[in-house]
Chains A and B, each alone.
Chain A
Amino acid sequence: MVKRSIVLVALVLAALVVVTLPAQSQAPIKIGVIEPLSGPVAASGSYIRMGAEIARDWINAKGGISGRKVDLLIEDNKSDPKEAASAAEKLIVRDKVPAIMGAWGSSMTLAAMPKLEEYGVPMVVETSSAASITKRGNPWIFRISPPSEMEALGLEQYVDKLGIKRVDFLAVNTDWGRGSITAFGDMLKKKGAAVGVAEFMDQAATDMNAQITKIKATGGDTLFLTTAVEQITLVMKQAQEQRLGRKIVTTGGSSSPTQLIKQAGAAAEGSYHIVFFMPWFPEAMPDGRLAKAFVDEWAKRGHPFEGLTEGFRGHDGIATIAEAIRVAGKDEPAAIRDALWKVSLMGVNGPIKFAKDGPAGKESGQSKPSIFIVQIRDGKVALPDFLAKK
């Protein structure tokens, strides 16, 4: 009797295993996303979410990763570093995601980073520019956006053509803004430009007249502006009101020139913008076909065109994580991290491949993205004169 019941139990267990095994391999692969979906930089985070959803749908339309669908679990960090850390904790502990993309702002990414190390989960950083992110010795960080130094080097070749002789800086008072001033300041000093004042503004500030008045008094020719598009709009309008009369160069790739044309109007005329995607001329991107397909899909979904310069980051981040899961052959955090070192793919921005950065033995991954500069001219986005084909 005893023997028979053991056999029975064994049979039932075996049946359970047979039933659950395929079910488990069919369960969707979860990828966590942390973005600012409310707060002062909510627009940027929402666009990245839209781009991430396009990547997810494209992957799933092609049958997913080894037959498993991709599911995005999206958390709002409310443009607040504290919230970014708790969003990371929630995604890892409660939702058990094996990999995360995030968290837009450098301060938010830096706040989430200790959680990645604590629980051992990799994060692909899609936007943040502060150098410290890949220099801190966090081996779970893989960045596809350029740190400010890389951006500054990308601009170096154009400094003379832009006629930059005397610069001032105005930046958002965060890790991103402060890091950007150091990086561009060093590069410009090396190129022989004089550096005037470095002014800061709170992320939520709306009245920057004090800073503009101070900058006006230095008599420089160029203003480097580092913040998100909302504040760039306000600075441009207020600079026009005070007749600042400077060449403005925005850094960080979050300037959305199309939105500036709409909201700042004539105040944005003539300004230069460092961007990492040129949706106005997708054919000029490293993979013109992918870029064009992304722009078309974005339009088909009715997303606003001005969001494309942020939205591609979401696509590239999710595509990178999906590729790593495919290479790893399983959706486990440590395996995905190891696979991230091996991935080599084409994103909307261009080739994505990680090189080691930071202290030896605990390196973070840093890709070398493509960097572009565009100008707002006659109310349109154009290549600067010195780049335009004759």
Chain B
Amino acid sequence: MEQLLQHLVNGLVLGGTYALLGIGLTLIFGLMNVVNFAHGEFYTLGAYAAFAALGWAGVDFFTAVLAAIAAGAALGWLCEVTLLRPLRSESIDTTMLVMIGVWIAMQNGELLVWGGVAKSIPHPFPTAPLVLGPVAIAPLRLFVLLIAAGLIAASWLLIQKTKLGRAMRATFQDRDTAALMGVGIGRIHAATFAFGSALAAAAGALLGPVFLAYPSMGDLASLKAFSVVILGGLGNLPGATLGGLLLGVAEELGAGYISSGYRDAVGFVIIILVLLFRPAGLFARQERIA
């Protein structure tokens, strides 16, 4: 029983990080219809940006996270304007290939700049765990979970309640009509991609200190983000959140009670089942893409 509680806490903490990875991707993939293979690289970028801000600029941890978010948004915006904008009327396959190119270029760029040796990102939290009865949780991980929840809520509010969010949804439902209603299409595309990339960078800056920063860290992140988006349904923020938590808990229980050798298999079996029985995602009410 004690073990089960600890497994559930571990699963929630892990799921929270998956959700954080998933929401950025679900915006770009779901709303913009861009299969963003470079999502994990923006995650890596966030981790290294935080590392650089802490080490070179000597700022504190929280400023470093903000710097990482800004770096992610800036590069995301640049990426949209220079690479995706000229291809807006091309098929989803074309942009997917471009994003695979961005993925490879960014990962090798990181290897070039930072080298292959993993970097440990310092953080101000105590390493001794918080002990609540039978379960233990590291203060840093609790902080990450809370920030993740905050970012997810803020993103949802932005999409659902603000004028910008409404313009985003309108643009991706029917670009021509939205343009006729006076929505600046170019600006909305760039803003959405920058926003999604900033969320990935935030995840990297927050999770970098939990794990380690190294050039290929984004591969695993991308894999999990795509899983979460498929589980939750394209463009569905609450879906991505619940999908992330579900994936985290499922992997944790699978590793704990079935076999740790098949940990990732547990997650993918669930995805296969979801695709078989609810192809639009577990939590989808309707197709989000026009």
The interface of chain A, by Cβ under 8 A from chain B, is 37-40, 42-43, 45-46, 79, 173, 199-202, 204-207, 209-211, 213-214, 216-217, 229-230, 233-234, 237, 240-243, 262-263, 265-267, 304
Which stretch in B112-120, B189-197, B238-246 binds the other chain?
B112-120
User: Across the interface, do A214 and B256 meet the contact criterion of CB distance under 8 Å?
Assistant: yes
Chain A: CB-nearest residue to B140: A241
CB of B105 within 8 Å of the partner chain: no
CB distance from B281 to the nearest CB of A (A): 24
Complex contact A210–B7 (CB within 8 A): yes
19 interchain pairs, CB-CB under 8 A: A46-B117, A79-B216, A200-B261, A202-B263, A205-B220, A205-B264, A206-B220, A209-B10, A209-B13, A210-B253, A210-B263, A211-B260, A214-B3, A214-B260, A217-B3, A237-B127, A241-B136, A263-B118, A304-B117
Given contacts A217-B3, A266-B127, contact A38 B116 (CB under 8 A): yes
Residues of chain A with a CB closer than 8 A to B22's CB: none
| A79→B129 CA distance, assembly (Å) | 33
Closest B-chain residue to A36, C-beta based?
Answer: B116
Q: Is the interface of B mostly helix, strand, loop or mixed?
A: helix
| Chain A residues, CB < 8 A from B10 | 207, 209-210, 213
Which one, B141, B216, B256, B260, contacts A42 given CB within 8 A? B216
Do residues B136 and A46 form an inter-chain contact, with CB atoms below 8 A?
A: no
Whether A42 pairs with B255 at a CB distance below 8 angstroms is: no
Chain B positions within 8 Å of A, measured between CB atoms, are: 2-3, 6-7, 10-11, 13-14, 17, 108, 111, 115-118, 120, 127, 129, 131, 136-138, 141, 211-212, 214-217, 219-220, 251-253, 255-256, 259-261, 263-264
Contact indicator B252/A241 (Cβ below 8 Å) = no
Q: Are A42 and B211 in contact (CB under 8 A)?
A: no
Give bound CA distance, A40 to B256, whole Å: 24
Q: In the assembled complex, which residues on chain A have CB atoms less than 8 Å from the CB atom of B136?
A: 241-243
Min CB gap B126→A, angstroms? 11
With a CB–CB cut-off of 8 A, which chain B residues contact A43? 116-118, 214
Task: Assess A42 versus B117: contact at CB under 8 Å? Given A199-B260, A205-B220, A267-B127.
Answer: yes
Q: Measured between alpha carbons, how far is A240 from B220 in the docked complex, in Å?
A: 24
Min distance, Cβ B165 to any Cβ of chain A, angstroms: 32
For the complex formed, measure the closest distance between the CB of A274 and the CB atoms of chain B, giving whole angstroms. Answer: 21
* Chain A residues near B141 (CB-CB < 8 A): 241
Partner of A241, one of B111, B116, B118, B127: B127
B260 touches A40 (CB 8 A): no
Q: Which residues of B contact A214 (CB under 8 A)?
A: 3, 255-256, 260
Q: Identify B212's interface contact among A45, A199, A234, CB under 8 A.
A: A234
For A37, the closest partner residue in chain B by CB is B116
Question: Contact between B115 and A242 (Cβ–Cβ < 8 Å)?
Answer: no
- Our count of residue pairs bridging A and B at CB distance below 8 angstroms stands at 110
Nearest-neighbour CB distance to chain A for B257, whole angstroms, equals 8
What is the minimal beta-carbon distance from B244 to any residue of chain A, in angstroms?
A: 13
Cβ-closest chain A residue relative to B107? A38
Report how far A170 CA is from B10 CA in the complex, Å.
18
Chain A hits for B11, CB < 8 A: 210
Q: Identify the closest chain A residue to B259 (Cβ).
A: A200
Main secondary structure, interface of A, reads helix
A230: chain B residues within 8 A (beta carbon): 118, 212, 214
Could you tell me the distance between the alpha carbons of A46 and B2 in the complex, rounded to whole angstroms? 43
Kindly name the residue among A207, A214, A237, A266 whose own CB sees the greatest number of chain B CB atoms within 10 A: A207
- Given A211-B260, A241-B136, check contact A42 B215 (CB 8 Å): yes
CB distance from B120 to the nearest CB of A (A): 4
Given contacts A213-B7, A217-B3, contact A241 B215 (CB under 8 A): no
- Residues of A contacting B115 in the complex (Cβ-Cβ under 8 angstroms): 46
A184 CA to B13 CA in the complex, in Å? Answer: 33
Give the distance in Å from the alpha carbon of A209 to the alpha carbon of B263 in the complex.
Answer: 12
Q: In whole Å, how far is B228's beta carbon from the nearest beta carbon of chain A?
A: 15
Question: Nearest Cβ distance between residue A304 and chain B, in whole angstroms?
Answer: 7
Using Cβ atoms and an 8 Å threshold, which residues of chain B touch A234?
A: 211-212
- B260 contacts A243, C-beta separation under 8 Å: no
Beta-carbon contact of B3 and A207 below 8 Å: no
Please report the C-alpha to C-alpha distance between residue A14 and residue B137 in the assembled complex, in whole angstroms: 81
| Cβ A38 vs Cβ B7 within 8 A | no
CB-based contact B116/A45 at 8 Å: yes
| Distance of A86 from chain B, by nearest CB (Å) | 17
Q: Which residues of A contact B116 (CB under 8 A)?
A: 37-38, 42-43, 45-46
Q: Which residues of chain B have C-beta atoms less than 8 A from A199's C-beta?
A: 255, 260
A residues near B111, Cβ cutoff 8 Å:
38, 42
Check if A241 sits within 8 Å of B137, measured CB to CB: yes
In the assembled complex, which residues on chain A have CB atoms less than 8 Å from the CB atom of B211?
Answer: 206-207, 234
Q: State which of B7, B117, B215, B260 has its C-beta within 8 Å of the C-beta of A200.
A: B260
Query: What separation, in Å, do the CA atoms of A304 and B138 have in the docked complex?
Result: 30
What is the CA–CA distance of A262 and B212 in the complex, to the nearest angstrom?
A: 12
**Additional A-B contact list (17), CB under 8 Å, known A43-B118, A234-B211, A241-B138:** A42-B116, A42-B117, A43-B116, A199-B260, A206-B217, A209-B14, A210-B255, A210-B263, A211-B260, A216-B6, A217-B2, A217-B3, A229-B118, A240-B127, A241-B137, A263-B212, A266-B127
Once the chains are docked, how many angstroms separate the CA of A42 from the CA of B251? 27
Assembly CA distance A263 to B131 (angstroms): 24
Residues from chain B with a CB closer than 8 A to the CB of A200 are: 259-261, 263
A186 to B10 CA separation, bound complex (whole angstroms): 32
A40 to B220, CA, bound (A): 10
Contacts of A266 in B (CB 8 A): 127
CB-CB under 8 A for A204 and B117, given A213-B7, A214-B255, A230-B212:
no
Report the separation of the CA atoms of residues A229 and B118 in the bound assembly, to the nearest whole angstrom.
9
Contact of B214 among A40, A213, A237 (CB under 8 A): A40
Q: Are A39 and B216 in contact (CB under 8 A)?
A: yes
